[in-house]
Amino acid sequence: MDLEKANDISARNTVHKMITTMRKHHHVFDKMRERTGLGRSAHRMLMILSDTGGDLSQTYLAERLEISPAAVAVTLKKMETDGYILRKTNTADSRFNTIALTEKGVNIVELSQNMFNTIDEAVFEGFNEQEMAQFNGYMDRVQANIRALEESVDTVNNKGGIST
């Protein structure tokens, strides 16, 4: 990267740096995730199941993962066959499966959490507490701005017009 580009403080360049950083973060994790033996969708599904406790509909998982309910069914079946989860029909509501992580599944979740921590600590190596607080404050403002922009775009789209 040349010096002029490195010193470019325009909004466009800053957003580009944020996007590039996020992509690199995902790329590093994907390389580390390969150790788990799970593909991206199956891994994300395992982490969601761990976070939520397992009483989920396939529709919920499909929406959360942005994949089809059929893809969820196939992935859950493979995860069950491979020994990561156990499934039972929920007796109170047959639309839901109770999905429990097996010891193998729990071990993958723990390994993944350790990998996330390793990456996050490496990303912020050399940042002190004050810098982290300041950075978090900036990110909070960026997120608030993007939410406001999203709402204004939704409003314009609902009215059928284009705002410039």
User: What tens digit of pLDDT does each residue of 34-56 get?
Assistant: 988 899 989 999 999 999 887 77
* Domain 3-125 bears CATH identifier 1.10.3720.10: no
**Rounded distance between C-alpha atoms, residue 138 and residue 37, angstroms:** 37
Count the alpha carbons within 13 Å of 96 in the hemisphere toward its beta carbon.
12
Position 116 scores a pLDDT of 93
- pTM, 2 dp: 0.75
List the structure tokens of 78: 């493979």
Q: What is the pLDDT of residues 57-78, one digit of tens each?
A: 788 888 999 999 899 999 999 9
At residue 112, does pLDDT exceed 90? yes
Q: What is the number of residues in the chain?
A: 164
- List Cα–Cα distances, 82 to 37, 65, 70, 109, 141, in angstroms: 10, 20, 18, 15, 43
Position 124 scores a pLDDT of 96
Angle at 81 between CA 76 and CA 87, to 5 degrees: 50
- The amino acid at residue 39 is G
Region 118-144: mean pLDDT is 96
- Give the domain ranges of the chain: 3-125, 128-164
At residue 9, does pLDDT exceed 80? yes
**Rounded distance between C-alpha atoms, residue 152 and residue 164, angstroms:** 11
Which regions of the chain does DSSP assign to beta strands (E)? Answer: 55-56, 85-89, 97-101
